């Protein structure tokens, strides 16, 4: 059939394309199809050749991208630790990961480290004008108060040289009153993951986070530990007798150096598919997993002095 034998209506038509790549590179996204104008022989042409009123509506489908990669997030640098001479600035470095659509959370640093991500600096040197003896200050600790109550914040205050050389009347306060955060914190939980094995060994896990009213993830210490949902659930069979079920480890209790981390160990099982906790005597005591373990955070920094000479010598050293 020749070109002259084809009507204008048959010459050009709308063709629905395949779905475009997923809109999200990780977690869930949307893939969209679109219409393109083609000639009778299948060659794509300008859209003006096709009837705009006959153009098909685009269609959308949910799609799943690859697993989201973890990333390092940093806070702003603090003020210099000394108002004159050499000091240090600090910032908080945490590992974050998109765990599910709309569920971006801080995770253990091991995730970023195992992904080969270089950890950003947490400390850098700063320098101001030269100075004599002065009071040096650490950063304020977190407020000790729970929501809606008062507590204290503490910091270390020390003389840059021998204590008698600093003016005691000018010594800054090492403690101040603070108010706890508003009582708008709540625990949120992701969906349960798949079962990892058979009854007695199988576990389902989910991610638990403490959030404020705006949905921002905040420190777990700001939510009531007594109401924290289970992060690990037994599975493997509809009826599973009492056995030890270990929850996830809490964060290390030390801000630097060596410390301890703890976790909750429950005697639990399933009855007709329903989770049930039992008295500890129902589980074998000799098989109970450890509730505490040693942990290590970044090295602690400590000032110390050498013997007196013509010039005071100082060293900033790291101790475990």
With residue 294 as reference, give the H or E element that holds it: strand 292-296
- Is 251 within 8 Å of 220 (Cβ atoms)? yes
Contacts of 70 (CB under 8 A, 6+ apart): 95, 96, 97, 107, 111, 112, 115, 117
Task: Report the chain's C-alpha Rg in angstroms.
Answer: 31
Residue 276: beta bridge partners?
Answer: 269
**Using CA atoms, how far apart are residues 139 and 81, in angstroms rounded to an integer?**
8
**Counts of helices then strands in the chain (DSSP H, E):** 2, 25
Q: What are phi and psi of 82, to 5 degrees?
A: -130, 140
Q: What is the per-residue pLDDT for 290?
A: 92
The per-residue pLDDT for range 247-261, each reduced to its tens digit, is: 888 878 777 778 888
Q: What are phi and psi of 53, to 5 degrees?
A: -70, -20
Q: What is the per-residue pLDDT for 312?
A: 42
State the virtual CA torsion across 156, 160, 163, 165 in degrees, nearest 10. -140
Contacts of 160 (CB under 8 A, 6+ apart): 82, 85, 131, 133, 134, 135, 136, 166
Q: Mean pLDDT per segment of 10 residues, for the chain of length 320 residues?
A: 60 80 63 83 87 82 71 90 82 85 77 90 85 80 80 88 84 89 81 86 88 82 82 88 89 78 91 88 91 80 45 43
Q: What is the per-residue pLDDT for 283?
A: 93
Distance of CA 66 to the CA centre of its chain: 19
- Find, among 180, 188, 250, the residue nearest to 213 by Cα: 188
**Using CA atoms, how far apart are residues 79 and 94, in angstroms rounded to an integer?**
19
Q: Could you give the residue ranges of the DSSP H alpha helices within 152-276?
A: none
- Is 48 within 8 Å of 36 (Cβ atoms)? no
Q: What is the per-residue pLDDT for 118?
A: 92
H, E, C per residue of 135-168 = EEECCCCCCCCCCCCEEEEECCEEECCCHHHCCH
| Backbone angle region of 135, left / alpha / beta, with phi > 0 → left and psi within -120 to 50 → alpha | beta
Neighbours of 208 (CB within 10 A): 19
**Using CA atoms, how far apart are residues 27 and 207, in angstroms rounded to an integer?**
15
Q: What is the per-residue pLDDT for 311?
A: 42
**Using CA atoms, how far apart are residues 219 and 78, in angstroms rounded to an integer?**
19
Task: Please state the domain extents for the chain.
Answer: 9-64, 71-181, 224-296
- Find, among 227, 193, 233, 191, the residue nearest to 210 by Cα: 227
Distance of CA 60 to the CA centre of its chain: 31
Residue 202: beta bridge partners?
Answer: none
Q: How far apart are the first and last CA of the chain?
A: 86
Q: What are phi and psi of 118, to 5 degrees?
A: -70, 130
- Is 269 within 8 Å of 234 (Cβ atoms)? yes
């Amino acid at each position: 059939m020749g070109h002259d034998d084809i009507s204008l209506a048959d010459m050009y038509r709308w063709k629905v394309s395949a779905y475009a790549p997923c809109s999200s590179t990780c977690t869930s996204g949307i893939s969209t199809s679109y219409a393109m104008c083609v000639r009778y022989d299948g060659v794509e042409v300008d859209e003006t050749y096709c009837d705009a009123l006959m153009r098909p509506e685009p269609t959308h489908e949910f799609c799943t991208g690859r697993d989201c990669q973890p990333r390092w997030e940093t806070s702003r640098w603090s003020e210099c630790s000394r108002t004159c001479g050499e000091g240090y600035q600090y910032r908080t470095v945490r590992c974050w990961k998109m765990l599910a659509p709309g569920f971006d959370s801080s995770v253990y640093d091991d995730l970023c480290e195992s992904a080969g991500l270089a950890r950003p600096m947490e400390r850098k040197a700063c320098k101001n004008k030269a100075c004599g003896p002065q009071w040096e200050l650490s950063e304020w600790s977190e407020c000790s108060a729970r929501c809606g109550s008062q507590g204290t914040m503490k910091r270390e205050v020390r003389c840059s040289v021998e204590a008698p050389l600093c003016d005691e009347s000018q010594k800054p306060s090492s403690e101040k009153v603070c108010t706890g955060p508003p009582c708008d914190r709540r625990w949120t939980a992701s969906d349960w993951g798949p079962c990892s094995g058979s009854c007695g060994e199988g576990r389902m896990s989910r991610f638990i986070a403490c959030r404020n009213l705006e949905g921002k993830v905040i420190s777990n210490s700001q939510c009531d530990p007594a109401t924290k949902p289970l992060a690990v659930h037994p599975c493997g069979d509809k009826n599973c007798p009492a056995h030890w079920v270990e929850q996830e480890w809490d964060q290390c209790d030390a801000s630097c150096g060596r410390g301890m981390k703890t976790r909750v160990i429950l005697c639990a099982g399933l009855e007709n598919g329903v989770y049930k906790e039992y008295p500890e005597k129902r589980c074998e005591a000799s098989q109970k997993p450890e509730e505490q373990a040693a942990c290590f955070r970044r090295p602690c920094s400590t000032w110390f002095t050498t013997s007196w000479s013509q010039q005071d010598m100082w060293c900033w050293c790291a101790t475990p």
